[in-house]
Amino acid sequence: MNYGIVLRVLGKLLTIESLLMIPSFFISLYKGGPDIGAFIITIIITATLGVLLSRIKSEYNSISPKEGLAIVGLGWVLASLLGAIPLYLTKSTNTYIDAFFEIVSGFTTTGASVITDVESLPMGILFWRSFTHWIGGMGILVFTVALLPALGIGGFQIFKAESPGPIAGKMAPRIKDTAKILYTTYFGITLIQVILLLFGGMGLFESLLHTFGTVGTGGFGIKNNSIAFYDSTYIHMIIGIFMTLSGINFSLYYSLYKGRFKEVFYNEELRLYIGIILLAVICISLNLYFTSYEKLGFAARDSFFQVSSIITTTGYSTVDFDLWPSFSKAILLLLMFIGGSAGSTAGGIKIIRILVMFKLIKREIVKIFHPRAVLPIKNDGKTMSNEVVAGIYSFIALYVVIFMIGTLLVTLEGVDLESAASSVVATLSNIGPGLGFVGPTRSFVGYSQATKLLLSFFMLLGRLELFTIIALLAPKNWRREL
């Protein structure tokens, strides 16, 4: 392990984080809120630590996979530890662990909250809390790679360790150019949604914060009853549509820009993603219409919003879906596991892994009748390597094991099984709200400090695709190489 390069890149990361806090500071300064001092202290601490670490010398500048994992894992933890300071200093949360939980939830785009009255928060804190979604959505380390060409050839190890999905693909020969393409797309979608929400009657501040939560698929609300506060079908539909768009692999937008329409249209992951959404919306709409809704149109509107919110792991809500019929809740629970597309800001297992899993099942059934047949697993007409397929196997197996162990541990809190299971999947899949004890109208504040730390760990596990954090726990990866 080359500790010098790890600490130096972490220093650059913290320097960037201190700069990213400045807009929140200016908002608090403009509003004259009680959070001015908290941001000044945090920015000074973060910037100072960042400058000191970035001056550490290293023997060589290239970054190996081992160092890439260390930078990504430690980077997210450090960014969260320091990012939580303003919430703690302003007493926006009861304890520092609560503040850490909240900011981990922000950076990992989970949206699980321990704050019961968000409308009482200072404006600067509200902005920082939602801005962490936007920063974490595309990846704070990918942002670092985009801005720091000095990272050179080692940048891909960081990009690969942080990118969601079984394969981290380049859209340009140089990884910093790939990162810039992703962020250009990210900026573009953000700008369009802000403008459309302004047309819907939202103010600029509210439009920005809701867009941060939508495009980052995070879901932190700035109203106590989330998007339900806005009694506007237009606003509900705009946010619902942009949540769906944010759950699509961002590389497909680049393909559209390049005019490769056939590549997008025939993309198997995209087609399955849209198919699952349509099927879920139809099933829930009919279930709601025949049980509790008088008009099918309203049932379709609410079901589309919640399906889009859950499958993209955003977590916004327009209704208390915990009161829906069991059939509808069961569909939403399944969507929590599935998640969005690889290469998007969404969490969960990812559509591509579900797709490959179905293809593996189909292959095993065919081999019963044709045991000697050679049947490679293909995606979009390209054969997937055995290494990638094995990785998908391993990821799903590890996800299930962590989910089961986590559920058992959370039940020690005395909550019912539905609440415990949904708490784990809501954090591990980076969704936010769950069912029962952590339903859309409730929060995670009732859990003990130990459970909040455990769930924070699950949020980091889910955002960094499980193996990044697990690999860091192996002692041999921290040995200095001679």
String of DSSP letters for 272-337: HHHHHHHHHHHHHHHHHHTTT-S-HHHHHHHHHHHHHHHHTT----SS-GGGS-HHHHHHHHHHHH
Mean pLDDT calculated for residue range 15-30: 93
Q: How many residues does the chain have?
A: 482
93 is an annotated ligand-binding site residue: no
90 assigned binding-site residue: no
Average pLDDT, the chain: 86
pLDDT at 151: 47
The per-residue pLDDT for 152 is 46
| Mean pLDDT, range 294-309, rounded to an integer | 95
Pick left, alpha or beta for residue 20 (phi over 0 → left; psi -120 to 50 → alpha; otherwise beta).
alpha
* SS3 assignment, position 137: helix
Cα separation, 249 vs 171, in Å, equals 12
CA distance 222 to 236: 15
- Is 176:149 a contact under the CB 8 Å cutoff? yes
pLDDT at site 153: 38
Q: Is 313 known to sit in a ligand binding site?
A: yes
pLDDT the model gives residue 285: 97
pLDDT digits (tens, 9 = 90+) for 240-263: 999 999 999 888 888 888 888 888
What is the DSSP secondary structure assignment for residue 120, as one 8-state letter? Answer: G
pLDDT of residue 63: 67
Q: How is 412-435 classified by DSSP, letter by letter?
A: TTT--HHHHHHHHHHHHTT----S
pLDDT tens digits along 440-466: 888 899 999 999 999 999 999 988 888
Q: What share of the chain is helix, strand, coil (3-state, %, to 5)?
A: 70, 0, 30
Contact status, residue 136 vs residue 463, Cβ threshold 8 Å: yes
pLDDT digits (tens, 9 = 90+) for 109-129: 999 999 989 999 999 999 999
User: Does residue 109 sit in helix, strand or coil?
Assistant: coil
Considering only CA atoms, which of 456, 434, 430, 453 is closest in space to residue 443? 434
Between CA 273 and CA 266 the distance in angstroms is 12
Q: Which of 150, 127, 144, 225 is nearest to 182 (CA)?
A: 144
Q: Is 388 exposed, middle or buried (0-12, 13-18, 19+ CB in 10 A)?
A: middle
pLDDT beyond 60 at 173: no
Which whole number is the average pLDDT over 88-95?
93
Please state which of the ranges 166-175, 330-339, 472-481 shows the lowest mean pLDDT.
166-175
pLDDT reported for residue 150: 47
The answer on whether 116 is annotated among ligand-binding residues is no
Q: Nearest Cα to 227, choosing from 199, 261, 197?
A: 197
| pLDDT the model gives residue 477 | 61
Residue type, 120: S
Question: 127 vs 17, 80, 210, CA distance in Å?
Answer: 14, 16, 10
Q: What's the mean pLDDT in 138-142?
A: 64
What pLDDT was estimated at residue 372? 82
DSSP letter string over 165-230?
SS----SSSSHHHHHHHHHHHHHHHHHHHHHHHHHTT--HHHHHHHHHHHHTT----SSTTGGGGS
84-88, 122-126, 139-143, 391-395: least confident range: 139-143
Which is nearest to 318 in space by CA: 196, 208, 226?
A: 226
* 3-state SS class at 378: strand
What pLDDT is recorded for position 346? 87
Q: Does residue 227 register a pLDDT over 60?
A: yes
Instruction: Look at residue 375 in the predicted model and tell me its pLDDT.
Output: 83
Cβ–Cβ < 8 Å for 167, 342: yes
60-69, 217-226, 342-351, 384-393 — which is least confidently predicted?
60-69
R_g of the chain computed on alpha carbons: 22
Distance CA 431, CA 414 (A): 22
* Cα–Cα distance measured from residue 236 to residue 318, given in angstroms and rounded to the nearest whole number: 8
Judge whether 61 is annotated as a binding position: no
pLDDT computed for residue 472 by the predictor: 74
Query: pLDDT at residue 192 above 90?
Result: yes
Kind and range of the H or E element at 382? strand 382-383
Helix (H, G, I), strand (E, B), or coil: what is residue 112?
coil
Q: Is the dihedral of CA 153, 155, 159, 162 positive or negative?
A: positive
Residue 314, annotated as binding a ligand: yes
Residue of 111, 125, 108 lying closest to 33 (CA atoms): 125
For the record, the structure tokens of 374 come out as 């050679």
